[in-house]
Chain A
Amino acid sequence: METESNTGAISVIEFLDAVKNSGKTKRWQLDPFTTPESIFRALLYGSAFCMVLLLAGILLTLIIESFPAIKAFGLKFLFSKTWDPVTEEFGALPFLIGTLITSFLALAISIPFSLSLSLYLGEYAAEDFLSSLLRSAVELLAGVPSVIYGFWGLFILVPVVRFIEIKLGVTPYGVGMLTSSLILAIMIIPYSASLGREVIRLVPIELKEAAYSLGATRFEVIRRVILPYVVSGITAGNILALGRAIGETMAVTMVIGNSNFIPRSIFAPANTMASVIANEFTEATGTLYLSSLVEIGLLLFVVTMVINILGKQIIKKMSVQV
Chain B
Amino acid sequence: MRKALFYVSVAIALLSCAAAAPSHAASVELLGAGATFPYPLYSKMFDTYYQAYKVKINYQAIGSGGGIQQLISKTVDFGGTDAFMNEKEMKKAEVPILHIPTCLGAVVVTYNLPDKPKLKFTPDVIADIFLGKITRWDDPRIAAVNPEVKLPGLSIVVVHRSDGSGTTYIFSDYLTKVSKDWAFKVGADKSLNWPVGLGAKGNPGVAGLINQTPGAIGYVELIYTLQNNMPAGIIKNKAGNFIEPNIKSTSAAANIDMPDDTRVSLTDTAAADGYPISGFTWLILYKEQNYSSDRSKERAEELVKLLWWMLHEGQQIAEPMQYAPIPSSAVTRGEQILRSVVYNGAPLLTK
Interface residues of A (CB under 8 A from B): 82-87, 154-155, 158-159, 162, 171-175, 253-254, 257-260, 269, 271, 275, 278-285
A86-B188, A279-B199, A285-B65 known; A258-B193 Cβ under 8 A: no
B200 & A258 in contact (Cβ 8 Å cutoff): yes
B162 & A279 in contact (Cβ 8 Å cutoff): yes
Q: Which residues of chain B come closer than 8 Å to A280, judged between CB atoms?
A: 163-164, 191
A173 & B213 in contact (Cβ 8 Å cutoff): yes
Q: Which residues of chain B come closer than 8 Å to A154, judged between CB atoms?
A: 208-209, 212
B199 & A283 in contact (Cβ 8 Å cutoff): no
**Residue B192 is within 8 A (CB to CB) of chain A in the complex:** yes
B155 & A171 in contact (Cβ 8 Å cutoff): yes
B157 & A86 in contact (Cβ 8 Å cutoff): no
| Bound CA–CA A82/B157 (angstroms) | 22
Closest A-B pairs by Cβ, 3 of them: A283-B164, A258-B199, A258-B162
A159-B212, A284-B191 known; A254-B63 Cβ under 8 A: no
Q: In the complex, how many angstroms separate the beta carbon of B213 from the nearest chain A beta carbon?
A: 6
Chain A interface, >50% SS class: loop
Partner of A282, one of B164, B197, B212: B164
Name the residue in B63, B68, B163, B192 with the highest tally of chain A Cβ atoms < 10 Å from its Cβ.
Answer: B163
Known: A278-B163, A279-B164. 5 other contacts (CB 8 A): A258-B162, A279-B201, A283-B64, A283-B65, A285-B68
Give the residue name and chain of the A residue nearest to B86 (CB).
Answer: A285
B191 & A158 in contact (Cβ 8 Å cutoff): no
Q: Which residues of chain B come closer than 8 Å to A278, judged between CB atoms?
A: 163
Q: Which residues of chain B come closer than 8 Å to A87, judged between CB atoms?
A: 187, 193
**Residue B194 is within 8 A (CB to CB) of chain A in the complex:** yes
Q: Using a CB-CB cutoff of 8 Å, which residues 239-279 of chain B contact chain A?
A: none
Q: Which residues of chain A come closer than 8 Å to B198, judged between CB atoms?
A: 173, 175, 257-259, 269
Q: Which residues of chain B come closer than 8 Å to A83, judged between CB atoms?
A: 193
A283 & B190 in contact (Cβ 8 Å cutoff): yes
| Bound CA–CA A5/B201 (angstroms) | 61
Q: In the complex, how many angstroms separate the beta carbon of A299 from the nearest chain B beta carbon?
A: 19
A254 & B64 in contact (Cβ 8 Å cutoff): no
Q: Which residues of chain A come closer than 8 Å to B200, judged between CB atoms?
A: 254, 258
Q: Which residues of chain B come closer than 8 Å to A254, judged between CB atoms?
A: 200-201, 205
Give the residue name and chain of the B residue nearest to A275 (CB).
Answer: B162
| Bound CA–CA A285/B198 (angstroms) | 23
A85 & B193 in contact (Cβ 8 Å cutoff): yes
A173-B213, A259-B199, A271-B199 known; A283-B163 Cβ under 8 A: yes
A282 & B163 in contact (Cβ 8 Å cutoff): yes
**Residue B66 is within 8 A (CB to CB) of chain A in the complex:** yes
**Residue B189 is within 8 A (CB to CB) of chain A in the complex:** yes
| Bound CA–CA A162/B68 (angstroms) | 42
Give the residue name and chain of the B residue nearest to A173 (CB).
Answer: B198
B162 & A84 in contact (Cβ 8 Å cutoff): no
Q: Which residues of chain B come closer than 8 Å to A260, judged between CB atoms?
A: 193-194
**Residue B186 is within 8 A (CB to CB) of chain A in the complex:** yes
| Bound CA–CA A11/B126 (angstroms) | 76
| Bound CA–CA A84/B195 (angstroms) | 11
Q: Which residues of chain B come closer than 8 Å to A175, judged between CB atoms?
A: 198, 209
Partner of A82, one of B65, B188, B193: B193
**Residue B102 is within 8 A (CB to CB) of chain A in the complex:** no
Partner of B157, one of A84, A173, A271: A173
